Structure 1
Amino acid sequence: MSELPATQNILALEDRAQTGRRASLFRMLLNDPVATAAAVILIIVGLTAIVAPPLLGDLARAQDLGARNLPPFSVAEGWQYILGSDSLGRSMIARMMVAAGTTLGVAVPAVLVAALVGSAWGIWAGFHRGWREAVSMRIADVIMSFPSLLLAVVVLYIFNPSAANIVLVLAVTRIPVYLRTARAEAAELRSRMFVDAARNFGTRPNAVIRRHIVPNVLPTLVTLATLEFCYVMLAESSLSFLGIGIQPPDVSWGLMVAQGREYLSQAWWLSVLPGLAIVITTVAANVVAAWLRLATDPGQRWRLASKGRRRFIGRVTPRATR
């Protein structure tokens, strides 16, 4: 009976430690203004991608040939032309907001599918080793021997270039990245003493993977997925720019850049504004990925903590000297 309170105390301490860890990560994020700004940008883009298509879909498709190629800040024609209009008189801000939903609607599912399949496959192969690891690595080598973007171009040229096909092709071509990373991490953790101890006590392999391997591999995979999000979004934009990605009447940032390149001399904003949206989103995702890598690495986390201490000292010291 005396073991029950002790077990409850241990579980309570673990829950408290996890809560404190989450709070510590949030404080570290707030202490880094660049990472905080990048996270806010990604949140705004994500909310726009969810809310804009059902609310602004009709406005993004509405044509007004009398308001063709209006420059940005043409508020006299209406608020919808604050970022100008395209060659058919359609609102640029409405089209960009709706295009965010299409671009992220391709990038996010592709990253999730590739991350889930590749990570699970890599952890399974790295933990069990043997023929599983050998076969998995050879399959990954075969897929990676073809440039992913070139393979996507060939496949989409042969088949219908729809959003579902783009997601499938990009996900398949990026699975080996997660597979190789997860395999290396799982193989290294498999030789650790705490994993050996769990296996010697009779813990089942699936339980060992779930309790000891996955939590330690997850930070690296999350950082990798954030970086891969940038690559997949740029790949979708490149495919749409080449004409084998998103097809009209749907709209994406890459398709807007492609459609506006014919009017660069008289309407530069048609290509520059959606291109700027791509750049800002990818840069923000890269900043968040770099911050996540430091925040989830116990050996590097002190860098973020030291930033917060220096800013705190900088705010407090002048008051103390008055």
Structure 2
Amino acid sequence: MSLMRLDPARGRIAGFALPRLPRFRALRNWRVSLGGAILLVVLVSSLLAPWISPFDPYAQDLKAALLPPGGSHLLGTDEFGRDLLSRLIWGGRIALLVAAVSVVVSLIAGLFLGLVAGYFGGWLDALIMRGVDILLAFPNFLLAIAMVAILGPGLANMLVAIAIFGIPGFVRLYRAEVLTLKGADYVEAARSMGAGPWQVIRRHILPNSIPLVIVLCSLRAATAILVASGLSFLGLGVEPPLPDWGAMLTNGREYLRVAPHLTTVPGLAIMALVFAFNIFGDGLRDILDPRRKH
């Protein structure tokens, strides 16, 4: 007999995760629309950076240093005469790379550990969760600083540090979701029909946790960008001359009085991207959570 059965409590077929949504519901949610639009602009501009950047982001022109916004340099220039708009566009690549790589690594490790802890329980659950509690005892940013200090500055080490500090949050939240799904009626029915643990996980637990995973990834990406910007601001992240928004912030501190655009522009870029990920995740949560009214 097939394990695919109607789950009365959730009103859907067990094994299929995404709820049946009315057409264009996502577009009617202003959070998803606004956040998605900002993310799309950053993504497209980053991908097309070699073609749409008005100047070489590494080219220096000391005669044009600290120019205010306007003219051929729409957002002005930095202390080395480099075009700020071009560096902002190329910096979007690093921001999205940090978000993507750190979230994927945290997701894979966190989902595996959370799944094992939540579904099998026992000493595995106790061991995993005590390790998570130890990591969560440290503030996230301080933990990232400590790991970068051990590994050394640089983009690769920063990615590793941000990915590691993101794992405990994924483990705890996914474990709670697995515990909820584990007690669902359709999971109990599958077990009673002889389904093994990995069959239940593959056909019921994993598919029905997809909405939570999507929302977690979006919200965690915002945190990763903030932490990466903070590490670069402290000189522990991306090393010059790579165009990084956090590094642009710290370089502009010395010129706040004479050239405030050096910090204003990358600061607004960081704020906009983090804001976009957060409201996009909130909108997805509103849509994908079946317990919420739409």
1:67 aligns with 2:64: yes
1:37 aligns with 2:29: no
SS at match of 1:138: helix
Deviations 1:111-143 (A, max 9, x none): 111012101220122111111111111111111
Structure 1's 229 and 245: CA in aligned 2 closer, same or farther, altered over 3 A?
same
Inter-partner Cα distance in structure 2 for 1:53 and 1:108:
21
Inter-partner Cα distance in structure 2 for 1:117 and 1:55:
37
Q: Once the 2 structures are TM-superposed, how far is the Cα of residue 216 of structure 1 from its aligned partner?
A: 2.1
- Structure 2's unaligned 5+ residue stretches are 2-11
1:189 aligns with 2:175: no
Which of the two has higher C-alpha Rg? 1
Inter-partner Cα distance in structure 2 for 1:83 and 1:146:
39
Inter-partner Cα distance in structure 2 for 1:54 and 1:170:
30
Inter-partner Cα distance in structure 2 for 1:47 and 1:148:
30
Structure 1's 122 and 19: CA in aligned 2 closer, same or farther, altered over 3 A?
closer
Q: Once the 2 structures are TM-superposed, how far is the Cα of residue 146 of structure 1 from its aligned partner?
A: 1.9
Inter-partner Cα distance in structure 2 for 1:209 and 1:169:
30
Is the contact between residue 126 and residue 187 of structure 1 (CA under 8 Å) also seen in structure 2?
yes
- Residue in 1 that maps onto 2:123: 131
Is the contact between residue 53 and residue 97 of structure 1 (CA under 8 Å) also seen in structure 2?
no
**Which AA in structure 1 matches 2:64?**
A
Is the contact between residue 102 and residue 252 of structure 1 (CA under 8 Å) also seen in structure 2?
yes
- Residue in 2 that maps onto 1:204: 196
Deviations 1:224-266 (A, max 9, x none): 2211111110000001001111110112110001101111101
Q: Once the 2 structures are TM-superposed, how far is the Cα of residue 272 of structure 1 from its aligned partner?
A: 0.3
- Structure 1's unaligned 5+ residue stretches are 4-12, 304-322
The worse-fitting range, judged by mean Cα deviation, of 43-52 and 267-276 is 43-52
Is the contact between residue 83 and residue 92 of structure 1 (CA under 8 Å) also seen in structure 2?
yes
Inter-partner Cα distance in structure 2 for 1:196 and 1:158:
47
Choose from 149, 152, 155 the match for 1:160: 152
List 4+ stretches of structure 1 deviating above 3 A. 17-22, 53-58
**Which AA in structure 1 matches 2:265?**
L
Return the structure number with greater relative CO, CA threshold 8 A, min gap 6.
2
SS at match of 2:48: helix
1:256 aligns with 2:262: no
Question: What do you get for the CA RMSD once the two structures are aligned?
Answer: 2.3
- Residue in 2 that maps onto 1:52: 49
**Which AA in structure 1 matches 2:275?**
V
Is the contact between residue 18 and residue 208 of structure 2 (CA under 8 Å) also seen in structure 1?
no
SS at match of 1:59: coil
Q: Once the 2 structures are TM-superposed, how far is the Cα of residue 215 of structure 1 from its aligned partner?
A: 2.1
Identical counterparts, % of pairs: 36
Is the contact between residue 122 and residue 178 of structure 1 (CA under 8 Å) also seen in structure 2?
yes
Deviations 1:50-71 (A, max 9, x none): 3326875970001111211111
Structure 1's 153 and 34: CA in aligned 2 closer, same or farther, altered over 3 A?
closer
Is the contact between residue 70 and residue 85 of structure 1 (CA under 8 Å) also seen in structure 2?
yes
- Residue in 1 that maps onto 2:20: 21
Structure 1's 55 and 216: CA in aligned 2 closer, same or farther, altered over 3 A?
same
SS at match of 1:88: coil
**Which AA in structure 1 matches 2:20?**
R
1:270 aligns with 2:283: no
Q: Once the 2 structures are TM-superposed, how far is the Cα of residue 290 of structure 1 from its aligned partner?
A: 0.8
1:119 aligns with 2:116: no
Inter-partner Cα distance in structure 1 for 2:253 and 2:266:
11
**Which AA in structure 1 matches 2:176?**
A
- Residue in 2 that maps onto 1:237: 229
Inter-partner Cα distance in structure 2 for 1:185 and 1:18:
13
- Residue in 1 that maps onto 2:83: 91
Q: Once the 2 structures are TM-superposed, how far is the Cα of residue 49 of structure 1 from its aligned partner?
A: 2.6
Inter-partner Cα distance in structure 1 for 2:247 and 2:119:
43
The worse-fitting range, judged by mean Cα deviation, of 214-223 and 87-96 is 214-223
Structure 1's 286 and 85: CA in aligned 2 closer, same or farther, altered over 3 A?
same
Q: Which TM-score applies when normalising by structure 1? A: 0.82
Where in structure 2 are the equivalents of 1:213-224 lying within 5 Å?
Answer: 213-224=205-216
Inter-partner Cα distance in structure 1 for 2:31 and 2:119:
38
Where in structure 2 are the equivalents of 1:287-298 lying within 5 Å?
Answer: 287-298=279-290
Deviations 1:276-315 (A, max 9, x none): 0011111111111111111001121x33xxxxxxxxxxxx
